[in-house]
Amino acid sequence: MHCHICNQKTVTFQDEKSGIAYHHCKPCKYIFKDPSCYQPIEVQKARYDLHENDANDAGYRAYFQRFVDFVLPKVGQPQNALDFGCGRSRLLADILKDMNIDTDVYDPIYHPDTQWHTKKYELIVSTEVFEHLHDPKSVFEQLVERLTPGGYLALQTQFHPNDPEVFKRWYYHKDPTHIVFFRPRTFRVLAEMYGCEFLADNGKNMVVLKKRKV
């Protein structure tokens, strides 16, 4: 099977406990579950509905604040932003609004308004979304298209350990809605494909990219 990102041939390994096959691209370090495991949006929603995202919870707020504290020093003071795949919560958008960044939200299940398709943003953020995507390359391209020249894309998703045996013991892939997994290298490859500069990663789960000015 070929990689969804760079189209190179992948190496397949299997998690003996679950019986799930994974396809590992060595050149761009992308790993994806076999597509037979992908779930329709209705099944995914049933799991997302179980998430307890209380905006008044200090730990939940701190979770987003860590993301903001990593991203904003690298992007300056954008005038507007989009929180793509925000889920039920608007907390990240509210934090950005409190910092004088006018922020829209979009989520295909909970906030399906597609006004973002016709707007341009100086910053697009997306936390814990990319691991759910059936076609992350296409979504990445869409998001870059909605950036202004010189705009920023900041993503959060857990970086996989890049070792099949360690990967099998890793907690993150056990969520059935988590189907695709990345390393910073994967996002560097996507950045090069779609005219972006890779600015930074935190070594764990966050990357910041900048759309090049033509």
Please indicate, yes or no, if residue 3 is contained in any of the structural domains: no
CA angle, corner 179, sides to 174 and 182, nearest 5? Answer: 100
User: Model-level pTM?
Assistant: 0.95
Query: Residue 57 has what pLDDT?
Result: 77
Query: What residues make up the domain containing 113?
Result: 11-211
| Residue 126, both tokens | 């997306």
Residue 144: burial class (beta carbons within 10 Å; 0-12, 13-18, 19+) = buried
Q: How many CA atoms lie within 13 A of 95 on its CB side?
A: 21
> Which CATH number fits the domain that encloses residue 61?
3.40.50.150
Please indicate, yes or no, if residue 4 is contained in any of the structural domains: no
Distance of CA 172 to the CA centre of its chain: 14
- Is the CB of residue 154 less than 8 Å from the CB of residue 200? no
Q: How many CA atoms lie within 13 A of 192 on its CB side?
A: 8
Please indicate, yes or no, if residue 123 is contained in any of the structural domains: yes
- Is the CB of residue 83 less than 8 Å from the CB of residue 101? no
CA angle, corner 79, sides to 73 and 82, nearest 5? Answer: 85
Please indicate, yes or no, if residue 6 is contained in any of the structural domains: no
Query: Residue 60 has what pLDDT?
Result: 86
Per the rule left: phi > 0, alpha: psi between -120 and 50, beta: everything else, 43 is: alpha
Pairwise CA distance, residues 146 & 152, whole Å: 10
Please indicate, yes or no, if residue 116 is contained in any of the structural domains: yes
Query: Residue 53 has what pLDDT?
Result: 67
Please indicate, yes or no, if residue 56 is contained in any of the structural domains: yes
CB atoms within 10 A of CB 159: 21
Residue 162: burial class (beta carbons within 10 Å; 0-12, 13-18, 19+) = middle
Helix axis angle for 58-75 and 91-98, nearest 10°, is 50
Please indicate, yes or no, if residue 30 is contained in any of the structural domains: yes
Collapsing DSSP states into helix, strand and coil, what is residue 93? helix
Please indicate, yes or no, if residue 17 is contained in any of the structural domains: yes
How does pLDDT run along the chain (214 residues), one tens digit per residue?
999 999 999 999 999 999 999 999 999 999 999 999 998 877 777 667 656 666 667 888 999 999 999 999 999 999 999 999 999 889 999 999 999 999 999 999 999 999 999 999 999 999 999 999 999 999 999 999 999 999 999 999 999 999 999 999 999 999 999 999 999 999 999 999 999 999 999 999 999 999 998 7
Q: Which helix (H) or strand (E) holds 127?
A: strand 121-127
What's the number of domains the chain is made of?
A: 1
Query: Residue 50 has what pLDDT?
Result: 59
Pairwise CA distance, residues 55 & 23, whole Å: 37
